[in-house]
């Protein structure tokens, strides 16, 4: 069964928890319930989407999220009675999270990950409700309205979308698996909504799978011009070569076995997974490691003759391959000529599954825009990767990425200048 999470009360902002009842039901230990809700809200990353960038008040909404239909603005979910969810009863709250139908019957766009939250167990849902109504500061502001073009502004259509695509029913533990595995599955499929980015979407923006029973689950997907990689056991671009401890530490502080979080995963680590208990992170890693390899792509063979010749040529400077010169001039000072990076600072590129990804979208975007590693309470300081949009042409970016994907034993499809140009058009850079 799904284990209850009890974390130190010390961590929680328990607000006005003084013996009042949470939902008109029997009195409960409100402070403990609110603290658990706080933990679950972090595991679900509610703040990540419901807080405006650049210092917006927590949970007051106003973040614009790109979707194929246009920009969808997140709601104020503080307990303000007018602009927030202060008037929500428990039933309204649970229905919003599980079915995507807000109080008053408004159908929400699936930019709010209710298809995943439908899995949330009742006692966790009550803890979340207690936290949002009694542990969060009310903020009396209204986020800008979502304005989508016809026909996407017709919210009633979403009722049919839900019938066609949205799963329902809380998480049902699998009896052929143990408690730890089920805990991991519950967190990944439900609160963590990892599939919202890591599962490919179909033509109606639906995730093509919501559980491991489908072989499309977590095989990689593009959202907002970031490719979230394959999390199944593929030994090239998946997690096949990444031990469970490295996955858990990657989620805890953004660094695991030489991999460093980048792109839209940085915020996931900073807002959400860094706060999860070691037990929960281990359960997640264990669940991910149980997913059989799907959609194999790329390979890492450091002992091959070609790999050894390539490394030797880099060492002696006798390199002819396009991209090698660019790498040595612009990249090697951080990522090192042998592609091994520097532990807890710069990621290794040799054997890095994200570098071998079937879809190079994230690599191109990182090169164009630059990025910074996450800042967490338990991890090393932030490091920057510079932006190369002013330093390299699209052709040169394609060459250096192709080089990185084909050296040190890495083997993944080349990146073309056309792919770089198309992505730069998409992000206007």
Cα–Cα dist 345/34, whole Å: 36
Q: Which is nearer to ligand HEC, 30 or 396 (CB)?
A: 396
Nearer to ligand HEC, 191 or 305 (CB): 191
On whether 107 is known to bind a ligand per the annotation, the reply is: no
Q: In the complex with ligand HEC, which residue's Cβ is closer, 221 or 307?
A: 221
- Is 134 assigned to a binding site? no
Minimum CB separation from ligand HEC for residue 90, in Å? 12
Please provide residue 253's backbone torsions phi and psi, each rounded to the nearest 5 degrees: -140, 15
- Provide the minimum distance between the beta carbon of 226 and ligand HEC in the complex, in angstroms, as a whole number: 4
- Tell me how far CA of residue 7 lies from CA of 35, 38, 103, in angstroms: 7, 10, 30
Residue 222 bridge partners (DSSP): 227
Compute the distance between CA of residue 232 and CA of residue 291 in angstroms, rounded to an integer. Answer: 5
246 known member of a binding site: no
Q: Determine the distance from the C-alpha atom of residue 383 to the mean position of all C-alpha atoms in its chain, rounded to a whole number.
A: 20
49 is in an annotated binding site: yes
Contacts with 59 (C-beta within 8 Å, 6 or more apart), sequence order:
46, 47, 50, 51, 76, 77, 78, 84, 132, 136, 139
The least distance separating ligand HEC from the CB of residue 165, rounded to whole angstroms, comes to 15
Closer of 31 and 385 to ligand HEC (Cβ) = 385
255 known member of a binding site: no
CB of 102 to ligand HEC, least distance (A): 4
Contact 239, 295 (CB under 8 A): no
Cβ neighbours of residue 324 closer than 8 Å, sequence gap 6 or more = 313, 314, 403, 407
What Å distances lie between residue 29 and 7, 20, 129, 131, 317, CA to CA? 14, 9, 14, 12, 67
The answer to the question of whether 140 is labelled as a binding residue is no
For ligand HEC, the closer of residues 15 and 229 by Cβ is 229
- Choose between 26 and 89: whose C-beta lies nearer to ligand HEC: 89
What minimum distance in Å lies between the beta carbon of 236 and ligand HEC?
10
The two three-digit tokens of residue 106, written as one number: 């408004």
Whether the Cβ atoms of residue 208 and residue 201 lie closer than 8 Å to each other: yes
Closest approach of ligand HEC to the CB of residue 203, in Å: 19
Closest CB to ligand HEC among residues 19, 358: 358
The DSSP secondary structure of 96-159, one letter per residue, reads: HHHHSB-TTSPBPPTTS-HHHHTT--HHHHHHHHHHHHHTS------PPPP---TTTT-TTHHH
| Smallest distance, ligand HEC to C-beta of residue 307, A | 18
Instruction: In angstroms, give the least distance from the CB of 295 to ligand HEC.
Output: 13
C-alpha to C-alpha distance for 39 and 318, rounded to whole angstroms:
54
Element (DSSP H or E) covering residue 268: helix 265-271
Token pair recorded at residue 343: 């532990």
Nearer to ligand HEC, 90 or 132 (CB): 132
3-state SS class at 402: helix
The encoded tokens of residue 127 equal 């803890």
Annotated binding site for heme c: 46, 49-50, 194, 197-198, 331, 334-335
Annotated binding site: 46, 49-50, 194, 197-198, 331, 334-335
């Amino acid at each position: 069964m799904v284990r209850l999470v009890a974390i130190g009360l010390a961590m929680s902002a328990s607000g006005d928890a003084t013996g009042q009842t949470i939902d008109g039901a029997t009195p409960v230990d409100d402070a403990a319930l609110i603290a658990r809700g706080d933990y679950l809200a972090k595991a679900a990353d509610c703040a990540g989407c419901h807080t405006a960038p650049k210092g917006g008040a927590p949970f007051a909404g106003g973040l614009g999220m790109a979707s194929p239909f246009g920009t969808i603005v997140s709601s104020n979910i503080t307990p303000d009675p007018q602009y927030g969810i202060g008037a929500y009863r428990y039933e309204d709250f649970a229905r919003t999270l599980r079915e995507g139908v807000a109080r008053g019957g408004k159908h929400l766009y699936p930019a709010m990950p209710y298809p995943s939250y439908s899995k949330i167990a009742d006692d966790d849902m009550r803890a979340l409700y207690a936290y949002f109504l009694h542990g969060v500061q009310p903020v009396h502001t209204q986020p800008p309205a979502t304005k989508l073009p016809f026909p996407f502004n017709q919210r009633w259509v979403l009722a049919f979308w839900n019938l066609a695509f949205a799963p329902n029913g809380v998480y049902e533990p699998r009896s052929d698996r143990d408690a730890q595995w089920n805990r991991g599955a519950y967190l990944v499929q439900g609160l963590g909504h990892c599939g919202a980015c890591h599962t490919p979407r179909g033509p109606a923006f639906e995730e093509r799978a919501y559980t491991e029973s489908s072989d499309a689950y977590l095989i990689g997907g593009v959202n907002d011009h970031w490719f979230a990689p394959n999390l199944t056991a593929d030994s090239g671009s998946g997690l096949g070569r990444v031990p469970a401890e490295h996955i858990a530490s990657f989620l805890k502080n953004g660094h695991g076995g030489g991999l460093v979080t980048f792109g839209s995963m940085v915020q996931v680590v900073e807002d959400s997974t860094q706060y999860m208990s070691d037990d929960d992170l281990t359960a997640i890693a264990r669940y991910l490691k149980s997913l059989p390899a799907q959609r194999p792509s790329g390979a890492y063979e450091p002992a091959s003759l070609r790999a050894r010749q390539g490394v030797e040529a880099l060492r002696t400077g006798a390199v002819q391959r396009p991209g090698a010169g660019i790498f040595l001039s612009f990249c090697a000072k951080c990522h090192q000529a042998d592609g091994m990076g520097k532990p807890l600072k710069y990621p290794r590129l040799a054997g890095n599954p994200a570098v071998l990804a079937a879809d190079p979208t994230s690599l191109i975007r990182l090169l164009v825009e630059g990025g910074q590693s996450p800042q967490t309470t338990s991890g090393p300081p932030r490091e920057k990767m510079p932006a190369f949009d002013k330093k390299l042409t699209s052709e040169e970016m394609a060459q250096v990425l192709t080089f990185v994907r084909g050296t040190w034993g890495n083997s993944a499809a080349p990146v073309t200048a056309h792919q770089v140009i198309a992505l730069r058009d998409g992000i206007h850079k």
